[in-house]
Amino acid sequence: MTLRLDMPEENLASILGKAFGNRSFLAGFAITALVAAVALVSFLWTPYDVTRLVIADKTQAPSLAHWFGTDHFGRDILSMIMVGARNSIAVALVAVGIGVGIGVPLGAFAAARGGLVDEALMRLNDLVFAFPALLSAIMITAIFGPGAVNAIIAIGIFNIPVFARVARAGALAIWQREFILAARAAGKGKTLITLEHVLPNIVTLLLVQGTIQFALGILAEAGLSYVGLGTQPPMPSWGRMLFDAQTRMVVAPWMAIFPGMAIVITVLGLNLLGDGIADILDPRSRRRR
Amino acid sequence: MSLLEIESLSLTIGDTPILRNIELSVAPGEVMGLVGESGSGKSITALTVMQLLPYAARTTGRVAFDGIDILAASEDQMCALRGDDIGMVFQEPMTALNPVKTIGEQVAEGIRWHTGASRADAEERARKMLDRVGLPAAQFPLSRYPHELSGGQRQRVVIAIACALKPKLLIADEPTTALDVVLQAQILDLLRDLVAENRMGLLLISHDLAVVTEMADRITILRHGEVMEAGDTARTLSEQLHPYTRQLAQASMHVPARARTHEVGQGQPLLRVDSVTRDYPGRRTSLFKRSAPTRAVDNVSFSMTSGQSVALVGRSGCGKSTLARMILALDGPTSGTIRFRGQEITGKSEADLKSARRDMQVVFQDPYGSFDPRQKVERLVAEPLHVLEKKPDGAERREMVANALHEVGLSPRDMDKYPHEFSGGQRQRLSIARAIITRPKLVVADEPVSALDVSIRAQILDLFAELNQKLGIAYLFITHDLIVARAISDEVMVMHDGRIVERGKTSEVLDHPQSEAARALVGAAPDLHRAIARRLREQG
């Protein structure tokens, strides 16, 4: 029997087509790209040098010369936001990466194995969870010295149990489904089933958690910088700028407003992007748009 | 005068017409059966009467309940009606109750809300109602939670809630579809008694013609949102004037043509189960203590030969599915051995099981849950190819999938679709395609047609029969539905409380059941012929 097999493969073009039809993806992508572009441009050019202090120009309101105003050392806020973008984003992204890279396999493994292994892994998780994150981050940076890299590691470690938990909870629900039983009846092992069936079905969950953790990462970096253990001066970071602004809210509100907006816009962009990607990856959402 | 009167009711959601010119009436003390396949608009009709429609729904026509114009009634008026004058029973007893409230609270809730009775009064009435539906105080105090009850008991609680205020009209939407036949018969008896006691009108919605025939005085048959035929139940179904009525009736009694049947004990056994027992550890009551283990399967032995079709029937919770899982080597027995093609499969590693897995496949009940929603049909159907010695390359794989799809009556073009793009019946075909792609010797099918409409069910049964003839596949059908067992199997095994209590030729066991469990199953099974005959006899 011969059957004609002339069906189009779903290729990159059709996925791109889907992406361009998805408003939340487009908006998220535009915002995220803008933020990334700003961070990249800051390597080459900023309106002012962020390491030079011009005390004469301190706490100036936004003007044509300084669009976003200046801080209490007379530095240009716009330039600081541009440079800060790369610090804040790098710290948050890598920290989320560490959390996903270690936490998700751990959670998926615990869900697949079950029993004692699961129990042991999850109690270990609880142990890490139980430490106040900021306090332990202070401990880690106190031992290994302050700086952006150590801040990344410290924040990353606390992302691990978060992702492990989310991945495990999601995976456990998927393991109960009948199609997993069908895959087992087809002779597939737990690793293969995890890769083929479980992970693709919890991607949405992880993306949502990822965007939340990213926002928390920026804030955590801000917290560490505040106590002097994160990004070291004179390098600016958004969090540091916020905390510098805290005591000057009344006299120089722009010092808080602009870095705050930078954080809000970045997180919003990533959220939209995450939602968009989740939609695009979900075959069932196709007909809706 | 009619209690409920629906006149030329049409309903659209967006631009899609859902109902067209529905005419229906229910008199006090009358049972009206509303029959149709999925998507025919049965549930939407019920929701219209309750005014629980989605926001986008637009209705025209007239719905009058006890003199009140329902379509024009305000939300406040409807709130007063719902649960008081109109009660509703849903299909799924597992989700219709709130898991964090006791059954007493849930029954008393409506009584207090509608009558303003005090807590003590409401509880007393709730107690009486629970007694009435067969949940006596000694075993079922008001303080029980839903998870402590079985499916049938929960459905009794749902009925108690719906009937607590002696409604004039009860709407029951597939009230027994999620229950096994014995429970179904009990729940139907209960509903019949409640109707007689309170002169309540009952609108019984079901896809099962036999159930409706046993219950309903009059019947309305819906298809694609339109009334096909309506009238006296016995006359409508015995005359079968409308072609769709005939089609439905035939589909519900459909028996696939099978050229040859396989006799017992021919040749080498394909599958041999020897005194298999499976215990589940009891719940941990403290750090060191567990309650006694539950025995799901108790010392079961049987064998099957190649090409034979065996039905394993029993009530829900009797251990059928546990036994099936052990045969598929997805679960290990506590003791006993299972041999497949002469090789022992218990306690083997996944690698050693590969060759057995090639010859042994499975079809599940739920055509929605048994496919990974994120994969395309090609990968899903090709999944069992994983166990082949030599993995086929891309083109070979597509060819094999195309063949399998062709064999189950689907188009090879369907390969690039996702499972959600198929209907329930088509998905069950996909499930069968997946099961036969490795040319197995044995297919275990766990309630493969119980989630399907009757006409689709008939098609799927035909497909099973055809594949049995063509490919010589042996089947182990797990079902609580005796009509399915009769349609497709050579032999029947009756399981009860983890044991196999009766085994024999299908016709012998179903026509002359010996054991008590088998007699209960046969007695409770709804049968269209019998039901029509009885109705005609009653009417003289």
B370 → closest Cβ in A9, A179, A184: A179
CATH number for domain A21-41+72-288, candidates 3.30.930.10, 1.10.8.60, 1.10.3720.10, 3.40.710.10: 1.10.3720.10
Is residue B464 within 8 angstroms of chain A, CB to CB? no
| CA-based nearest distance B59→chain A, Å | 25
Contact A24, A211 (CB under 8 A): no
Judged against a pLDDT cut of 70, whether residue B1 lies above it is answered with no
Q: Are B416 and A9 within 8 A, CB to CB?
A: yes
Q: What is the pLDDT of residues A105-137, one digit of tens each?
A: 999 999 998 888 888 988 988 888 887 777 777
B369 → closest Cβ in A5, A177, A281: A177
> Which of B57-61, B89-93, B206-210 shows the lowest mean pLDDT across its residues?
B89-93
Is residue B397 within 8 angstroms of chain A, CB to CB? no
Determine the average pLDDT of the residues in B458-469: 88
Determine the average pLDDT of the residues in B263-281: 80
Preceding omega of B333 cis (within 30 degrees of 0): no
A182 → closest Cβ in B370, B374, B413: B370
The count of domains in chain B is 2
**Residue B405: domain span:** 370-439
Q: What is the pLDDT of residues B247-258, one digit of tens each?
A: 888 888 888 876
B431 part of a folded domain: yes
Q: Are A283 and B434 within 8 A, CB to CB?
A: no
Is residue B391 within 8 angstroms of chain A, CB to CB? no
Point out the domain boundary residue: B378, B407, B439.
Answer: B439
Can you tell me the distance from the alpha carbon of A257 to that of A68, in angstroms, rounded to the nearest whole number?
Answer: 9
- CB < 8 Å to A198, chain B: none
Instruction: Give SS3 for A194.
Output: helix
- CB < 8 Å to B349, chain A: none
> Which of A140-144, B115-119, B211-215 shows the lowest mean pLDDT across its residues?
A140-144
> Given this model, what pLDDT does residue A8 score?
40
A188 pLDDT band (50/70/90 cuts)?
confident
- CB < 8 Å to A7, chain B: 412-413, 415-416
Judged against a pLDDT cut of 70, whether residue B538 lies above it is answered with yes
Q: Are A188 and B386 within 8 A, CB to CB?
A: yes
Quick one: which of A227, A229, A225 has its CA closest to A241?
A225
Residues whose CB is less than 8 angstroms from the CB of residue A117 and which lie 6 or more positions away in sequence, other chains included: A109, A110
| CA-based nearest distance B40→chain A, Å | 23
A2 pLDDT band (50/70/90 cuts)?
very low
In the predicted model, what is the mean pLDDT of chain A? 83
Contact B165, B87 (CB under 8 A): yes
- CB < 8 Å to A179, chain B: 369-372
Interface test with B, best of A178, A198, A202 (most B CBs within 10 A): A178
B503 part of a folded domain: no
Higher pLDDT, A246 or B279: B279
What radius of gyration, in Å, describes the C-alpha atoms of chain A? 23
Determine the average pLDDT of the residues in B449-474: 86
> Is the torsion defined by CA of A83, A84, A85, A89 positive or negative?
positive
Is residue B537 within 8 angstroms of chain A, CB to CB? no
Can you tell me the distance from the alpha carbon of B516 to that of B495, in angstroms, rounded to the nearest whole number?
Answer: 11
| CA-based nearest distance B350→chain A, Å | 7
- CB < 8 Å to A8, chain B: 416
> Which of B227-241, B281-295, B339-353, B365-379 shows the lowest mean pLDDT across its residues?
B281-295
Judged against a pLDDT cut of 50, whether residue A1 lies above it is answered with no
Is residue B399 within 8 angstroms of chain A, CB to CB? yes
Judged against a pLDDT cut of 70, whether residue A288 lies above it is answered with no
> Given this model, what pLDDT does residue B83 score?
85
Can you tell me the distance from the alpha carbon of B445 to that of B432, in angstroms, rounded to the nearest whole number?
Answer: 9
B206 part of a folded domain: yes
A13 pLDDT band (50/70/90 cuts)?
low
Residues whose CB is less than 8 angstroms from the CB of residue A88 and which lie 6 or more positions away in sequence, other chains included: A218, A221, A222, A237, A238, A239, A263, A266
Higher pLDDT, B179 or A81: A81
Residues whose CB is less than 8 angstroms from the CB of residue B34 and which lie 6 or more positions away in sequence, other chains included: B24, B42, B45, B46, B203, B204, B205, B206, B212, B219, B220, B222
Q: Are A178 and B386 within 8 A, CB to CB?
A: no
Q: Within chain A, what is the greatest distance between any pair of CA atoms? A: 87
* The dihedral formed by the CA atoms of B379, B384, B389 and B392, expressed in degrees to the nearest 10: -20
Can you tell me the distance from the alpha carbon of A191 to that of A112, in angstroms, rounded to the nearest whole number?
Answer: 8
DSSP B367: T
- CB < 8 Å to A4, chain B: 412
Point out the domain boundary residue: B214, B234, B252.
Answer: B252
Q: What is the pLDDT of residues B409-441, one digit of tens each?
A: 888 888 988 888 888 888 888 999 999 998 899
Higher pLDDT, A100 or A129: A100
DSSP A224: H
Q: Are A197 and B357 within 8 A, CB to CB?
A: no
In this structure, are B69 and B195 located in the same domain?
yes
Q: How many CB atoms lie within 10 A of CB B399?
A: 17
Quick one: which of A21, A227, A183, A212 has its CA closest to A100?
A212
A interface toward B at CB cutoff 8 Å?
A: 1, 3-5, 7-10, 177-179, 181-189, 192, 196-197, 200-201, 281-284
Q: How many CB atoms lie within 10 A of CB B238?
A: 14
Point out the domain boundary residue: B225, B252, B279.
Answer: B252
> Given this model, what pLDDT does residue A285 score?
61
Phi and psi based region of residue B178 (left: phi greater than 0; alpha: psi -120 to 50; beta: remaining):
alpha
Interface test with A, best of B325, B360, B370, B372 (most A CBs within 10 A): B372
B143 part of a folded domain: yes
Judged against a pLDDT cut of 50, whether residue B300 lies above it is answered with yes
Interface test with B, best of A11, A15, A175, A179 (most B CBs within 10 A): A179
Residues whose CB is less than 8 angstroms from the CB of residue A149 and which lie 6 or more positions away in sequence, other chains included: none
Q: Are B369 and A201 within 8 A, CB to CB?
A: no
> Given this model, what pLDDT does residue A7 score?
37
Give ipTM to 2 decimals: 0.75
Contact B264, B57 (CB under 8 A): no
In the predicted model, what is the mean pLDDT of chain B? 88
Can you tell me the distance from the alpha carbon of A238 to that of A261, in angstroms, rounded to the nearest whole number?
Answer: 10
Judged against a pLDDT cut of 90, whether residue A6 lies above it is answered with no
Can you tell me the distance from the alpha carbon of B188 to that of A14, in angstroms, rounded to the nearest whole number?
Answer: 53
Judged against a pLDDT cut of 90, whether residue A11 lies above it is answered with no
Q: Is A161 exposed, middle or buried, given 0-12, 13-18 or 19+ CB atoms closer than 10 A?
A: buried
**Among all chains, which residue has been given the structure tokens 């870095």?**
A259
Interface test with A, best of B381, B383, B407 (most A CBs within 10 A): B383
| CA-based nearest distance B61→chain A, Å | 31
Is residue B408 within 8 angstroms of chain A, CB to CB? no
Sequential DSSP letters for B482-514: HHHHHHH-SEEEEEETTEEEEEEEHHHHHHS--
Q: Are A3 and B416 within 8 A, CB to CB?
A: no
Judged against a pLDDT cut of 80, whether residue A227 lies above it is answered with no
Can you tell me the distance from the alpha carbon of B361 to that of B388, in angstroms, rounded to the nearest whole number?
Answer: 13
Q: Are B362 and A182 within 8 A, CB to CB?
A: yes
Can you tell me the distance from the alpha carbon of B448 to that of B468, in angstroms, rounded to the nearest whole number?
Answer: 15
> Given this model, what pLDDT does residue B391 score?
81
Contact A266, A89 (CB under 8 A): yes
Give the pTM. 0.79
Q: What is the pLDDT of residues A203-218, one digit of tens each?
A: 888 988 888 888 788 8
> Which of A27-41, A52-66, B226-240, B304-318 shows the lowest mean pLDDT across its residues?
A52-66
Quick one: which of B430, B433, B434 has its CA closest to B420?
B430
Q: What is the pLDDT of residues B507-527, one digit of tens each?
A: 899 899 999 999 999 888 888
> Given this model, what pLDDT does residue B262 score?
56
The one-letter amino acid at A227: V
Q: What is the pLDDT of residues A64-80, one digit of tens each?
A: 888 888 888 888 889 99
| CA-based nearest distance A179→chain B, Å | 4
Judged against a pLDDT cut of 60, whether residue A198 lies above it is answered with yes
Determine the average pLDDT of the residues in B345-354: 84
**% of chain A at pLDDT higher than 90:** 17
> Given this model, what pLDDT does residue B260 score?
60
Angstrom CA distances, B95 to A234, B51, B90, stand at 60, 21, 9
Angstrom CA distances, B427 to B214, B328, B451, stand at 31, 21, 11
Identify the closest residue of chain B to A8 by CA–CA distance. B416
